[in-house]
A = this chain, B = another copy of it.
């Protein structure tokens, strides 16, 4: 009951914030403006989000968790790059369901230094976790150099696709971009 209300306030705050941030830019928008538009106090904002960045970044966190879960769900006999591509494909489908919101989010993240930093940080973390999962599947010890590099290059391919997609304004087919980027990864034909 009270839990429902919390979720509603949180989503409302997130929506209002994204709208303002997308229009005025990250640095150009103060928390004061966000909470005024949402009708809550400044103090309450910080009860829902650790920082201004977190309003935007939490979407990325959720998406990362989703991608990792998809990877875990892939059959164990798939080669690493195939499993990664399919896992990312599922995430891409999720993104494509809300193209306008995703583009706004991506644009804001990519052109705001502090957000881009947090995004890349999360990506590096994800690469580590994915490499660990790939190691588990392959039955080799964690922190395998090859697998860490594989996860990193796959995530870079994904990031490049997303970047170009958001530059195009979300018009092109993100799934196709992803496949193209994965096809450009060297050393997977043997």
Contact = CB atoms under 8 A, between A and B. Distances in A.
Interface stretch (A6-14, A22-30, A95-103, A145-153): A145-153
A138 to B, nearest CB: 14
Contacts of A184: 145-146, 149
**Copies of this chain held together in the complex:** 2
A181 B156 CA distance: 18
Contacts of A37: none
Contact of A117 (B118, B180, B185): B118
Contacts of A127: 156
Interface of A: 113-114, 116-118, 120-121, 123-124, 127, 145-146, 148-150, 152-153, 156-157, 160, 180-181, 184-188
16 contacts: A113-B118, A114-B114, A114-B117, A116-B121, A117-B120, A120-B120, A120-B124, A127-B156, A145-B160, A145-B180, A145-B184, A149-B160, A149-B186, A185-B187, A186-B187, A187-B188
